[in-house]
Structure formats: structure tokens, C-alpha cells
Structure 1
Amino acid sequence: MAASTDRIEKRVLLRASRERVWRAISDSKQFGSWFGVEFDGPFVPGASIIGKMVPTRVDAEVAKRQEPYRGYRFEFAVDRVEPMRLFSFRWHPFAMDSSVDYSKEPSTLVAFELAEAADGTILTVTESGFDRIPIERRAKAFAANEGGWAAQMKLIEQYLAQHAQG
């Protein structure tokens, strides 16, 4: 079976309760801490929120790779917040060239889904809609986010281990 060009899916077993994982993905301050972004408010369904890139506080090596993007601003359009189950948003993937107006492009949908597991919580992150991104930047955006989501799965795992009670 050929790999999809339209969607990225990553799954990780997190050794934390569903409630703890939910807080880490649905609270904009906690999300930003591990993801590497400061938001200008909470995640509210149907609302847009501005994020500013800052290095993650979880992993020094990843923070070093994020440093060149410090201060870069982007928009999350919060899609759904279904407590303990699903958090989703839309954004413009790998929209890192400040001279380009990405607002005219279609966005991708990023969904964080939680499921029970015997020894923790399964987090599945899916980003879909890449086939609608302009062809001239589609492959680069897909490749960047494929690697980015792999790194983010490790960051949330580290965050939960470091902030077990948060």
C-alpha cells in the first residue's frame, strides 16, 4: 500500500492518565510549553488564536533547533474541543516565509485524539489536507511536518514525565 500524500498520522503510548494528557493538549499554556509556542489566549472552539514561536521548555536539543524561528507568529483556528477525547485546529503547514501571505491557501486539519490503554493513554495526532496545499510547496510542507510531528510526540512524552502532576 502506498503512503498517503494527504495525511500524516503519529501515535504514541503515553504513560499518563487520560486526564493528564488531556490537560497537556487542551490547555494552551501547557500545549505551548512542550510544543514551543506562546499563545495569546485559551483554546476556544470556533475561535482563532495567535501563537508566537518560542523554544520548547522540555528538551534542550529541540529548543536549539527551534531557536531560529523564535518570534515567528502564526494562527491556529480552533476547530473542536471534545473533553477527554478530541482537540483539533486548522493551520497553514510549514508557513515559515514571512514574505508570503498564506491566508489565501487552504489550511490543514490537525486532530489530537485520546484513547484508553492498559498502561496509559494512546495519543494519535493526524494532520490531513496536504493534497490541497499549492503544489510548489506541498512536498516540503509535508516532509517538514512529518518530521515535526515525530519530534512533537517525543516532546509531549518528555513533558508528561517531567510534569507528572501538572
Structure 2
Amino acid sequence: MAGQPLQGNITYPGYEYLKMDVLVERIEPEHLLSFRWHPAAVDASVDYSSEPTTLVVFELTEVGTGTLLRVVESGFDQIPAARRDEAFRMNSGGWAEQMVNIEKHVAKG
């Protein structure tokens, strides 16, 4: 539900010790999901709660005989300078890897 905070366990190998906290911004069933989170919050000894969040938007659009998935994460310019470049690098690589995973999953049909 929009406006609701959610927490879940990370299942990606090597990061299972982390919990992911997100705040759902928007839901349009079968079209859009957006949430805010603290990017690259991977050090369990750090409290990231006072930092700004980034906005992640998943958008589905019908195209031809298929569906286009677009994932955009914005707001890195607000992340503290000491973490900004690394957070952007980690998340860019992470989203690219997840897109490959989604493509493989869809190809299985």
C-alpha cells in the first residue's frame, strides 16, 4: 500500500545479514511501483536513517507484442558526498544484474 514502510531480508548471496527498508510511494497495479530507500546501505554498523533516500521506479509499458520494463533510480545527488559515487556504482551494477535475472526468468516462460 502506498505510504507504507516495508522491511524484508536481503537474499542476495553475501548480503543475507542485511534487512532492506523501503517506503512505498506509488502503486498502479500492472503498470508502476515506486519506493524510497537508502542506497547501498550495506554496513550493518552504520545507521543510515538520517540520510536522504533515493527513489526507485519500476514502470511497465505495453509495446508491440510485449512489455517494456523500465527501472530508474534517482536522487543520488542528495546522498552524502562520501558515499555518493560508491552507492551509485553499486546500485547501477545491481540493477543491471537484476534486469538480466528478470530477462532470464521471463524467457523461461
SS of the equivalent of 1:116 reads strand
In 1, Cα distance between the equivalents of 2:70 and 2:103?
13
User: Aligned residue for 1:58?
Assistant: none
**Unaligned stretches of 5+ residues in structure 1:** 1-43, 55-65
2:30 aligns with 84
TM-score (norm 2): 0.94
**Higher helix fraction: Structure 1 or Structure 2?**
1
Q: Which moved more, 1:132-141 or 1:119-128?
A: 119-128
Work out the CA distance in 2 between the residues paired with 1:105 and 1:152.
Answer: 25
Letter in 2 for 1:87: L
Counterpart of 2:61 in structure 1 is 115
1:156 and 1:123 mapped to 2: Cα distance? 10
Give the aligned partner of residue 97 of structure 2.
Answer: 151
Aligned residues: 109
Q: Identity over aligned residues, as a percent?
A: 50
Give the aligned residue type for 1:121.
Answer: T
- Given candidates 69, 72, 81, the residue that maps to 1:135 is 81
Alignment match of 1:97 (pick from 24, 34, 43): 43
Unaligned runs of 5+ in 2: none
Structure that is richer in strand per residue: 2
Using the size of structure 1 for normalisation, the TM-score is 0.63
Q: CA deviation at 1:145?
A: 0.6
Q: By how many angstroms is 1:108 displaced?
A: 0.3
| Pairs within 5 Å for 1:1-166 | 44-54=1-11, 66-162=12-108, 164=109
SS at match of 2:105: helix
